[in-house]
Amino acid sequence: MSRIESGKMKIEEMESSLPEIMHDLKTIVQADITSKRLEFYIDTDDVVNEHVLCDKLRLNQVLLNLLSNAMKFTKPGGVVGVRILQKGNAPEGFASYEFQVRDTGIGMSKEFQKHVFEPFERERTSTVSGIQGTGLGMAITRNIVDMMGGTISVVSEEGKGSTFSVNLQFKTCSGSVKQEVIPQLKELRALVVDDDFNTCSSVTKMLSTIGMRPDWTTSGKEAVLRARLAVEQNDEYAAYIIDWLMPDMNGIEVVRRIRGIIGDGKPIIILTAYDWSDIEEEARKAGVTAFCSKPIFLSELRGILEAPYIDADVEETAVREADVFEGKKILLVEDNELNQEIAVEILEEAGFVIDVADDGAVAVEKLKEAGPGAYDLVLMDIQMPIMNGYEAARRIRAFEDPKLAGIPIIAMTANAFDEDRKAAFDAGMNEHIAKPIDIPKLMELLRKMMS
């Protein structure tokens, strides 16, 4: 608090990915959610600008403070959740967002809500008397939000819970997420199964955006019945998106029963806010095609559903350019697991051999250990937690061996601003491509650099 009041705390805006921020947030709180035996949801609504300029650290701090409070004052069995909504009231080049943190905890009196953002304020009731804390968390949160040019408010009812809303406006780093219809999926049916209505609503909107005809249900048992009816009516669902944990039937069991009806042809995606590593083997055996971590964003859902079809165009290109791409080894430097999986699948289909590094520091070591000629090219993400892409490129260019130091490097950034291209070239990179990646454009760039 003293740093804020003295003016020493600064807002440092940089290129940031909202999907990465939200997925990181979920990872941080997951252990506490589990230990406190709370139900947890995290979702999105109408988010079409996923890459923005913001202070990622401070935004994370605000949301963590609010979530920590929500978990602290919610009893076991209660519900805590985060939702991000994009609002349509921003000027050109900007996007407005509302971050909501909700809980079903003890709530607050109307009188205390007037003072909740003041230092050292805590409602004096027997329910909270044993809870530890400095009383500064909400005051710091409000001050950070103020510094970011936003607003924060709360709606609460004693015994029912609280909803904190943070409204912020950020400069966008790139255009909106690709919203064109996927031709191969146009007018095909999809079924969303999740016991949370908000998730059903959000995902069905995304599916409609890419041209599908979505249905939804909050019941696993009903999902099985709908799958059977669709087969009987000869109007099958082309894709299923199913929540892992539902009260009436476990998501894995829902998948198992639906597979018994539809066979192996259609993709079934498990959607979850929890770590799925412990159940992945069982889920795969039951017939799960892919996993997707909540909150799901349009770019992620599109990538999963488009991947089997996008290869058709890539395959034609790969056949024509087999002599150029076949056996060439690329070091993919990308910290986002979903982005890794999509990129690896597309590049391997084109004939490349792919090795993955999840951070710039790892990439530098891999190149150093492998030596000259081991890799033909580096695809380098920019925003990574330990060593960013710019620094990694500078270190690669500083290698003593001129052949190793001269390896071609393509920068992958969240926008196509001139200053970002310049920063990439200043760091020693050869080319630059903006996210979300345009696959034909990437292939053309790779063909140019490999020929």
Q: What is each CA distance from 97 to 18, 70, 93, 326, 347, in whole angstroms?
A: 11, 20, 14, 44, 34
| Residue 230: pLDDT band with limits 50, 70, 90 | very high
pLDDT in tens, 135-146: 457 888 999 999
| Residue 89: pLDDT band with limits 50, 70, 90 | confident
d(CA 57, CA 28): 13
pLDDT in tens, 154-170: 999 999 999 999 999 99
Q: What fold, for 2-172?
A: Heat Shock Protein 90 (3.30.565)
pLDDT of res. 307:
80
Express as a percent the part of the chain with pLDDT over 90.
55
pLDDT of res. 4:
47
d(CA 308, CA 329): 23
pLDDT in tens, 312-365: 555 555 555 556 788 899 999 999 888 899 889 989 988 899 999 999 999 999
Return the CATH number of the domain spanning residue range 321-450. 3.40.50.2300
Q: Which residues lie closer than 8 Å to 235 by C-beta, 6 or more apart?
A: 189
**Is the C-alpha dihedral spanning 212, 215, 220, 223 positive or negative?**
negative
pLDDT of res. 434:
83
* CATH architecture assigned to 183-301: 3-Layer(aba) Sandwich (3.40)
d(CA 75, CA 161): 11
Domain extent listing, the chain:
2-172, 183-301, 321-450
Mean pLDDT of the chain: 87
Instruction: State mean pLDDT over 226-236.
Output: 95
Tokens of 337: 């697991």
| Residue 310: pLDDT band with limits 50, 70, 90 | low
Please check the confidence at residue 306 and state whether its pLDDT lies above 90. Answer: no
Instruction: State mean pLDDT over 85-107.
Output: 93
2-172 shares its CATH topology with 321-450: no
Q: What are the φ/ψ torsions at residue 176 (nearest 5 degrees)?
A: -65, 160
pLDDT of res. 160:
93
Q: pTM for this structure? A: 0.65
| Residue 8: pLDDT band with limits 50, 70, 90 | low
CB neighbours of residue 5 within 10 Å: 9
d(CA 171, CA 13): 10
